[in-house]
Structure 1
Amino acid sequence: MLCNKLVTTPLSLAPSAEANSLLRMLSPLVSLPRGLLIKVLCLFCADTMRGVGLLLLILVIPTVADASECRAPDGQAGKPGEPGRTGRDGRPGARGDTGDPGAASGAIDVPKKQGPPGDPGLPGKHGSKGHIGQTGPIGETGPYGPQGEKGHSGQGRGLRGKERPAFSAVINSNPPSSRGVRITFDRMITNEGFCFNHITGIFLACKAGWYYFTYNIATGGKLCVKIMKNNVKEAGFCDVAASVFHQPNYQINSGGIVLRLNKQDQVYLETLPDFNNIYGSAEVNSVFSGFLLFPN
């Protein structure tokens, strides 16, 4: 009967007394669960399309009622809640797949810009001393250098006189034999500084320094000559001339020495007893010489 009532009652959007009566009859069904209500209406009204419309109306009624009559007024907005604690970090994700190789740029030998120089590093430690290598071969002698310019002429103002003593004395006669006497001379050849006396046969040093003395004395028999310095023998030389067919055979007795003299030192020649044969003539001469090598 309810289904027939629903089927024969025209649905209209405008309210009427018959529609309101129908809604009051259906209101007890609204309290049923919606799924059960749909099954009941489908059993009674499945043969007509008007039942579909009735079904939609029943489904809408609760929504309309809730929206217009049963909804309470909205309350005031509550205060925002306190922020929650920061959550823990999630677990590391799985390693991603290897990406595709990058595309070649096509540039060949593209010069790169040089970056700025870095700071100097700390000095390294000294290494151990290496072994000394073998001496290399001697190189070839280099060519001679160019000849130097000629020097200036000297002033010619060397030592003179007593600053540069030098002498030579000669015997040109046959002196008589004597026993152990100082040898004297007949004349002077050279006497720079006048430091030698040919009459006494003594050289008196006018300047301290190094001197060289030499003699060559002719003899026809036995002769020994001593070079004396301040009455002390410095050197001695002896010679004997043998006669041939009872004729004298003359020969030369020679000697020389370098002495260091202080000023006023004396140097002279002296013979030995029984070895004092000296020969002199215009053709055969005996000579005694000396000179300063360099001063002290």
Structure 2
Amino acid sequence: MMKMKIKMMKNVALLFVAVGCCVCEPQTSCGEESSSSCAICSVTQGIAMLMEKVKLLETRLEKSEKDVEELRGLIGGRPQVAFSVGLLDSNNGNTGPFTEATPLKYKKVFSNMGSCYNPSTGVFTALVKGMYFFRFTMFNHQVSSPKSVVYLKRNGQVVASVWDMGAGDSNDTGSNAAVIPLEVGDNVWVELRPNTVVYDDSGLSLTTLSGFLIFPM
């Protein structure tokens, strides 16, 4: 598209130069021309300057295309999607309990290649169709009640879960993982069950979520 626009600009510039030359050619000098002829000469000079700019744009476009090809060669032309996040980016404490199911918003971003994870919503959105790997952990810190229950969900459907419903114990941790296919636009998140909590320490990152694209389809 950019090449086409530059080519059109170049063709228009050449046309105006040709017209200007035809009009001004019979004249000996601009001082002897009529005011209209002088105006055409000025336009012709402006078009000549425009052609120089078009030439510069062509040079820059060629360099950009070369850089893109080199980048594709480095990554093998394959999309790169990977992220890893922790629940809290400062302090420590429980998240929850809530009266209804609530997506966890992981604020501490370790990595977010491809920018598919949104820390404002806690939702990962697939921008590439493919097979993905997800792993999530949760921690319950010295809480006898309520307990901790989290779900990994794809488009609102439960994929996997981690539960801590034991009585009389504390400082429990658990994790789970899944390999799932995603279409472009599919959403994945971790959801906290109503009336339960999860604990995190920003310095230890005990409650986390990670995922990456295994291969596109």
Q: TM-score, length-normalised on structure 2?
A: 0.57
Letter in 2 for 1:206: L
The counterpart of 1:280, out of the listed 191, 200, 213, is 200
Q: Which structure: greater strand fraction?
A: 2
Partner of 1:158: 76
Q: Distance in 2 between matches of 1:228 and 1:182?
A: 9
Q: Distance in 1 between matches of 2:159 and 2:209?
A: 16
Deviations 1:126-146 (A, max 9, x none): xxxxxxxxxxxxxxxxxxxxx
5 Å-filtered alignment, 1:154-193, equals: 156-159=74-77, 163-172=79-88, 173-174=92-93, 175-179=95-99, 180-193=101-114
5 Å-filtered alignment, 1:100-111, equals: none
The counterpart of 2:156, out of the listed 223, 231, 235, is 231
SS in structure 2 at match of 1:194: coil
Deviations 1:203-262 (A, max 9, x none): 000100000000111113411111111111122221136556xxxx21212110011001
Letter in 2 for 1:185: Y
8 Å CA contact 1:226, 1:271 repeated in 2: yes
Q: TM-score, length-normalised on structure 1?
A: 0.42
Q: Which ranges of 4 or more aligned residues in structure 1 deviate by more than 3 Å?
A: 240-244
Higher relative contact order (CA 8 A, sep 6+): 2
Q: CA deviation at 1:177?
A: 2.3
Runs of at least 5 residues in structure 1 that lack an aligned partner in the other structure: 1-154
Q: Distance in 1 between matches of 2:165 and 2:185?
A: 34
Q: Using a 3 Å threshold, how does the CA distance of structure 1 residues 213 and 159 change in structure 2: closer, same or farther?
A: farther
The alignment-based identity, stated in percent, is 27
Q: Using a 3 Å threshold, how does the CA distance of structure 1 residues 282 and 196 change in structure 2: closer, same or farther?
A: closer
Q: Which structure: greater helix fraction?
A: 2
SS in structure 1 at match of 2:200: coil
Letter in 1 for 2:193: L
How many residue pairs get aligned? The number is 135
Partner of 1:6: none
The answer to whether the aligner puts 1:270 opposite 2:195 as a matched pair is no
Considering only CA atoms, is the larger Rg found in Structure 1 or Structure 2? 1
Partner of 2:175: 254
RMSD (CA atoms): 2.0
Q: Distance in 2 between matches of 1:280 and 1:240?
A: 18
Q: Distance in 2 between matches of 1:183 and 1:268?
A: 8
Deviations 1:172-201 (A, max 9, x none): 332342232111112211000100012211
Q: Distance in 1 between matches of 2:140 and 2:76?
A: 39
